[in-house]
Amino acid sequence: MTVKKGNNKTVVATFGAGCFWHVQAKFDKIKGVKNTYVGFMGGDLKNPTYEQTKTGQTGHAEVCHIEFDPEIVSYTDLLISFWQMHDPTSLNRQGLDFGNQYRSVIFYHTANQEKEAEKSLKEAQKNYKKPIVTQIVPASEFYKA
């Protein structure tokens, strides 16, 4: 099942930062975030299930797909929250969850989001001694969990 791409008052963003329930809980607390959906993105398998994705063989990451009102919260603010909610220096692992489905990833939906994500990564790197391993890649089909 796919989710709408936002409307004339909302914009979409998609982030992977470990278990999608954890990521969703964090974004749900941000004023201006209108809707959040958990699911999968970034792999080749169409309509993946949780059972398939948890094997790490689908290429999909667990993600939180967000609809937000840019007049209340900016994409830059969402990026700041993203960097703070997980360890972006940990490759394919967050806490006890490990595998490529738990990778740190920003799926950008526009060229402007790509530019902002790249800029925010450079800023965030100043806070870490180890290199950030977060992927910044084009959004693909989102599959709701």
pLDDT digits (tens, 9 = 90+) for 58-82: 999 999 999 999 999 999 999 999 9
Q: Give the CATH number of domain 11-144; options: 3.40.50.970, 3.90.1150.180, 3.30.1060.10, 3.40.50.1860.
A: 3.30.1060.10
Catalytic residue among 12, 13, 17, 19: 19
What pLDDT is attached to residue 6? Answer: 55
Taking the model in full, what pTM does it have?
Answer: 0.93
Active site residue 19: yes
Report the distance separating Cα 103 and Cα 136, nearest Å: 11
Mean pLDDT, residues 35-53: 96
Burial 47-81 (b: 16+ CB within 10 A, else e): ebeeebbbeeebbbbbbbbbbbeeeebebebbbeb
Report the distance separating Cα 18 and Cα 57, nearest Å: 16
Neighbours of 128 (CB within 10 A): 12
Cβ atoms of residues 28 and 126 within 8 Å: no
Mean pLDDT, residues 53-57: 93
What pLDDT is attached to residue 7? Answer: 58
Q: Where are the domains of the chain?
A: 11-144
